[in-house]
Amino acid sequence: MNCSHHPLWGKRSADEARALQNKAFRSFIRDQVFPHCVHYRRKLTSLGIHPSDLNSLEDLAKLPFTSKADLANAVTEGRIRDFLILPDSEKLRRRPSTLLRALFTGIERTRNALDEEYRPILLTSTTGRSAEPVPFLYTRKDINHLGVMGGRIMQAGNCTREDRVLNVFPYAPHLAYWLTYHAADQAGAFHLGTGGGKTMGTDGNLRLLVKSKPTVLVGMPTFVYHLLRRALEVGEKVEDLKVIALGGEKAPPGLRRKLAGLAEELGSPGIRILSTYGFTEAKGAWTECAVSPDEPSTGYHLSPEFGMIEIVDPQTGDPMPPETPGEIVYTPLDARGSIVLRYRTGDISEGGLTWSPCPACGRTLPRLLGRISRVSEQRRMKLDKIKGSLVDFNELEVILDDVDGVGSWQIELAKANNDPMEVDELRLHLSLEPSHLKEEVEDVIRRRFREVAEITPNEIAYHSAEEMRRLHGVGKNLKEEKIVDHRSIPQAVAPSSKPSPRKRIKRKEILK
């Protein structure tokens, strides 16, 4: 199975690995970004930066960050193609390396090699929940990288070509679905993609879960929970599972324990669970080592030959020392198609970055440690008439997943009496596990909320598992809705006012 970590990377010291990254970084900027990417060539030129000024990863600080707003504006203004590595075909033909390749391998083989390196053939996009979706294009070279990263996820779960993979991520131009497909393909394993709840519904996915007898179940944590809970409700057996791989959402320890408990009740004891971390803009994802739900996470093993991670202060942007919390910033080192340099993810790694050997596999690959949370989940709530309070919903999510007896949940933010001038309210919707009392669970939740966030829910409503599936939007939404904000009141538009036109980029404009 050709999916192992590159042995030279897994065994080198941190200094040796950084030296290799420096070499890749210099080459990437000099040979790909500056000559072939319109956006960054303009950006570097306007700042007076020449490729020769960027010799090591320490020189990254000379570059400005790329933000989500930069990408959103590029989509709105029809400039998203400027983020592509898109060589001029005539210049590419005249490049000395192209002429040498043609001389030694022939014109046709050279043309095919360049086509595989530079021609976009796959599109994924951001989900577009709060903004216009941002497309990211892959060439054959990028897809090969995606397969390698996917193969490493299979390896982390000790999976082989004999395994059967059930992929319940939604059918969509969505990184998680395609990463799972290429992971199974890289390992030579059987793969069945259901399309998730939106395509076949929970019961349709359940039928395939029972019939295909997968050994590996891959999907978003909330949907996987609903799927296994439904199997238990209808008395089905799922006896062959050995690994559950999760992506697309956070998977706190409490939720992992609940998934393992459900799997054991269904006939698959001793299951191992691994979580992945990735994002559309990186065109890849990274995995933990698969461990039992009672063991601590090993951290996410990065792929240092494909890109590098910086950890910066989320307020100042200054680099943080090793194993120090901070915002995750990404720069590719060998990508084609769409690229972003120094991309600010808005994600916080609570343990920072380390090059120390992994306690599970022993590799010296860089790892992201601790829980990863989102800055955007820190929301301001007006809890009284005087001032607002900043509430970290990342912490509230962990509380709810860790409380024994809570099956699934949803946090609803609303205005008291549905009056836009009133204070904010936090309403909690819960589905309880069997044999747990409301009073006991509610007491724990209120106490933990006060301890962590100094607030308590204004209302707690209890629902059946089926009602919670409806509230989460299972079978309707790309991602299940665990936090919903109903505080915004639409403003009426005066008849004489006209909203400013918003240019939408067409697919053919991206690909031409």
Q: What is the pLDDT of residues 264-286, one digit of tens each?
A: 999 999 999 999 999 999 999 99
Please state, in angstroms and rounded to a whole number, the distance separating the CA atoms of residues 366 and 376: 26
Here the tokens at position 209 are 């879960």
| Residue pair 240/215 in contact by the 8 Å Cβ criterion | yes
Q: Which domains does the chain have, with CATH numbers?
A: 377-485 (3.30.300.30)
pLDDT at 14 over 90: no
Please state, in angstroms and rounded to a whole number, the distance separating the CA atoms of residues 433 and 294: 19
Give the model's pLDDT for residue 343.
Answer: 97
Higher pLDDT, 12 or 446: 446
Here the tokens at position 380 are 């301001």
Q: Work out the pLDDT band at 479, boundaries 50, 70, 90.
A: confident
Q: What is the pLDDT of residues 147-204, one digit of tens each?
A: 999 999 999 888 999 999 999 999 888 899 999 999 999 999 999 999 998 888 899 9
Q: Work out the pLDDT band at 487, boundaries 50, 70, 90.
A: confident
Residues of the chain with pLDDT > 90, as a percent, come to 60
- Report in angstroms the alpha-carbon separations of 161 from 3, 7, 14, 154, 178: 11, 21, 32, 10, 18
Higher pLDDT, 213 or 96: 213
Measured CA angle at 370 (ends 366, 375), to 5 deg:
105
| Residue pair 272/242 in contact by the 8 Å Cβ criterion | yes
Mean pLDDT of 383-407: 78
Mean pLDDT of 454-478: 89
Residue 211: how many other CB atoms lie within 10 Å: 9
Please state, in angstroms and rounded to a whole number, the distance separating the CA atoms of residues 50 and 40: 11
Q: Work out the pLDDT band at 379, boundaries 50, 70, 90.
A: low
Q: Work out the pLDDT band at 500, boundaries 50, 70, 90.
A: very low
Mean pLDDT of 315-329: 94
Give the model's pLDDT for residue 65.
Answer: 97
Please state, in angstroms and rounded to a whole number, the distance separating the CA atoms of residues 4 and 138: 22
Give the model's pLDDT for residue 25.
Answer: 95
Q: Which of these, 364, 319, 360, 365, lies nearest to 342 by C-alpha position?
A: 319
pLDDT at 4 over 50: no
Please state, in angstroms and rounded to a whole number, the distance separating the CA atoms of residues 413 and 388: 14
Q: Which of these, 316, 342, 470, 496, lies nearest to 408 by C-alpha position?
A: 470
Mean pLDDT of 35-40: 95
Helix, strand, coil shares of the chain, percent, nearest 5, are 40, 25, 35
